[in-house]
Structure 1
Amino acid sequence: MEFLRITNIVDPLFKQMHQLMQDVFPKEEVLDFELWKEPLEDPGIRVFVAVLNGKVVGATEYRYYEDFNVAMTDFTIIGVAGLGVGPFLAENRLADLQELAAANNKDLYGMFAEIYNPYQVEHYEFGGIKPMDPYVRREVLAHLGYKRIDFKYVHPSWDNDGTAVTGLDLCFLPMEKGTNELPTDLVVKFLTRYYTVLPYKPDSWYSMVQDLEAKSRIALMPL
């Protein structure tokens, strides 16, 4: 299996990856094909696919913020069960991020991720791919060390229509064991930066950020 980076929409592997995203994720979570041109060409956004015999069997997108010394996993897709795609993507992603942090003369502080909460919304099917089942994914990510940031999370729809998307938790994987809280300022700055690309945000998102700004620390809870 190969871990290959995609940097433009004309890469034939991207067509496979985009189709895989459409097969797996809800419509409002997937950017249109043409809108991927700028993200893929952005050096700060890292999109990699797991390729086996010329076929995309998994994918992940993530980014590293030098000034925050944290990463964000945008998504992880396991396209085929029984190949070890999940561990392959996670291990290669972490190794890449640790190299980026080292080049920044730091040890990686941790990684954000939005994780589906099937206890809130149960209709996600994720293309019928069992490793992508939200109950399975949640337990796997818990075993990896991810923790739920203790607040009610909403995010703007990637349709950029101002709709609030619920049914997910914002989580964090601390690199240092025993970390049970975060500076709320870090969460606010991260969310503000991350969603700059979407100008149309729901009122509930702004209310959420204001509530966070009123606190200094926020707890990390078990998934």
Structure 2
Amino acid sequence: MKYLRITSIEDPLFRKMHNLMQEVFPPEEVLEYELWKEPLEDPGIRVFVAVHGDDVAGATEYRYYPDWNIAMTDFTIIGRPGLSLGRFLAQNRQNDLNELAKSNGKKLFGMFAEIYDPYKAGDHEFGGVKAMNPFVRREVLSHLGYKRLDFTYVHPSWKNDGEAVTGLDLCFMPDDENVNEIPAQLVVDFLKNYYTVLPNKPSEWLNMVEQLERQESVLLLPL
């Protein structure tokens, strides 16, 4: 299996990845084909696919923020069972991030991720792919070392319609498993940067950020 980066919508692998996304995710969560052009060309956004034979069997998108020495996982797709895709993607992503941190003269502090809370979010079929079931994914991410940030999380809808999206937790995987809290300002800075592209923020999100700005730290709780 190969771990290959995609940087253009002209790459034949991107069409296969986009088709896989349409099979797995609900239509409203899949960015239109043409709208991927700029994100793929952005050097700060890293999109990789797991290529098995001639097929794209999985994919992951993530970012590294050198100023804060942290990362964010945007998504991980497991498209086929029986290939240890979860481990393959996680290990290669971690190796890549470790190299980026090393080139920044540091050791990676940790990585954010938004993780579905299936106990609140209702039914998510994800194309019938069992490995993408949110109950399974939550336990896998817990095994990897993710911890839940201790506040009620909402995020702006990617439709930029001013609606607040619930049913997820903002989580963080510290490189040092003994870390049990992180600076609240780091969370604020990250969230403001990450959602800059969505100018129409819901009031729930703004209130959440204001509350975080009044704190010194945020606890990391078991996932």
- Report the TM range for the smaller structure's normalisation: over 0.9
Counterpart code for 2:47: V
Aligned positions of 1:1-223 closer than 5 A? 1-223=1-223
Pairwise CA distance, 1:204: 1.1
Pairwise CA distance, 1:197: 1.2
Q: What is the distance in 2 between the residues matched to 1:92 and 1:58?
A: 12
Pairwise CA distance, 1:31: 1.7
Pairwise CA distance, 1:26: 3.0
Report if aligned partners of 1:30, 1:158 keep a CA contact under 8 Å in 2: no
Q: What is the distance in 1 between the residues matched to 2:204 and 2:194?
A: 17
Q: What is the distance in 2 between the residues matched to 1:207 and 1:28?
A: 26
Pairwise CA distance, 1:104: 0.2
Moved more, 22-31 or 45-54: 22-31
Q: What is the distance in 2 between the residues matched to 1:142 and 1:207?
A: 28
Identity of aligned residues (%): 67
Counterpart code for 2:66: E
Q: What is the distance in 2 between the residues matched to 1:28 and 1:205?
A: 21
Pairwise CA distance, 1:122: 2.2
Q: What is the distance in 2 between the residues matched to 1:195 and 1:46?
A: 17
Pairwise CA distance, 1:23: 2.0
Report if aligned partners of 1:184, 1:218 keep a CA contact under 8 Å in 2: yes
1:85-130: CA deviations, max 9, x gaps?
1100000000000000000000000000010110101211111111
Q: What is the distance in 2 between the residues matched to 1:30 and 1:151?
A: 28
Q: What is the distance in 1 between the residues matched to 2:161 and 2:204?
A: 14
Unaligned runs of 5+ in 2: none
Counterpart code for 1:120: K
Question: After the TM superposition, which segments of 4 or more aligned residues of structure 1 sit over 3 Å from their partners?
Answer: none
Moved more, 50-59 or 14-23: 14-23
Secondary structure at the aligned position of 1:19 is classed as helix
Pairwise CA distance, 1:20: 1.6
Q: What is the distance in 2 between the residues matched to 1:168 and 1:138?
A: 11
Secondary structure at the aligned position of 1:115 is classed as strand
Secondary structure at the aligned position of 2:118 is classed as coil
Q: What is the distance in 1 between the residues matched to 2:216 and 2:86?
A: 35
Report if aligned partners of 1:29, 1:157 keep a CA contact under 8 Å in 2: no
Pairwise CA distance, 1:179: 0.6
Report if aligned partners of 1:64, 1:72 keep a CA contact under 8 Å in 2: yes
Report if aligned partners of 1:31, 1:158 keep a CA contact under 8 Å in 2: no
1:38-95: CA deviations, max 9, x gaps?
1100001000000111101000000100000000000000000111111000000000
Secondary structure at the aligned position of 1:14 is classed as helix
Secondary structure at the aligned position of 1:119 is classed as helix
Secondary structure at the aligned position of 1:171 is classed as strand
Q: What is the distance in 1 between the residues matched to 2:197 and 2:36?
A: 12
Report if aligned partners of 1:49, 1:56 keep a CA contact under 8 Å in 2: yes
